[in-house]
Amino acid sequence: MLALALTVPAAADKLADIKARGRLLVGVTESSPPFSFRDDGHGIVGYDVDLAERVAKSLGVATEKIAIINAERIAALRQDRVDLVAVGMTRSKGRAKEIDFSYAYLDSPHMVLVRNDSGIARVGELAGRKLALVRSASVDAELKAAVPAMQIVLFDDYNGAFAALADKRVDGFLADKMLLLWFAQRSGHPEDFALMGDYQLPRTAGFALKKDEPGFRDFVDRTLLELEASGEAAKIYDAWFAPVPRAFHIQPD
């Protein structure tokens, strides 16, 4: 039995590995504002990035940002190329079978943004119209069933999707509420846009983490709760989303 025990490798401990390395490897993306995006002159920044940097600070290590595309997020975690992914990732049940998630640091349902001058107020009025969607996203079955004649127009990033709505090349833009309001505010003419009132799909976002690393997951969760209790989490939110109000708190699931 002793010989057998000596041949079995020790269980992985990502928390210890990160501390020994002296760097937290954070998976980020260049095209998901305001969560994680490249800002000329400032590198990759965003709401999720700021929160990840607070986790590194709590660990007493540096932050190393590693740019990945959405299709790589789960593979990068599994292959230990990153320690956590900070890109506004939806905490879906399907993904939770392959990876773990931190507590939610964003509660922002999927909604549809339209132009006020379009005359569109309800989901049914999207029949025969064009709905902008980024390639990494999807339209839920309920919306497809409600509006089977709706045309989906895919874009490589959120900037392209919003620009198409602003330029009247599409009639609606489906994404999460905070992102849509952020784009409307940044346009300089937020009064030109409105959220469709009769469509809302619940969504929360958090850090994506490698499966079965409870020590690291618990540390990340404790850090998020500490940021909430100190008021720092609210300050980080306001830095990226104000004047859009913060209607949630970071709390245990």
Decide if 12-106+204-241 and 109-195 have a common fold.
Answer: yes
Average pLDDT of the residues in 181-203: 93
Question: What's domain 12-106+204-241's architecture?
Answer: 3-Layer(aba) Sandwich (3.40)
CA angle 154–93–57, rounded 5-degree value: 90
At 141 the pLDDT is: 73
* pTM metric for this prediction: 0.85
Average pLDDT for the chain: 91
Burial label, 20 (beta-carbon count in 10 A; 0-12, 13-18, 19+): exposed
At 138 the pLDDT is: 66
% pLDDT > 90, the chain: 73
Residue range 78-132, pLDDT digits in tens:
999 999 999 999 998 889 999 999 999 999 999 999 999 999 999 889 999 999 9
Domain 109-195, CATH among 3.40.190.10, 3.10.20.30, 3.40.1260.10, 3.30.420.40: 3.40.190.10
- Cβ neighbours of 41 (radius 10 Å): 5
- Eight-state DSSP code of residue 101: E
At 29 the pLDDT is: 93
Residue 87 near residue 35 (C-beta atoms within 8 A): yes
Residue 95 near residue 109 (C-beta atoms within 8 A): no
At 59 the pLDDT is: 97
The C-alpha atoms of residue 174 and residue 73 are separated, in whole angstroms, by 22
Q: Is the pLDDT of residue 175 over 60?
A: yes
Q: Containing H/E element for 23? A: strand 23-28
Q: Residue ranges per domain, the chain?
A: 12-106+204-241, 109-195
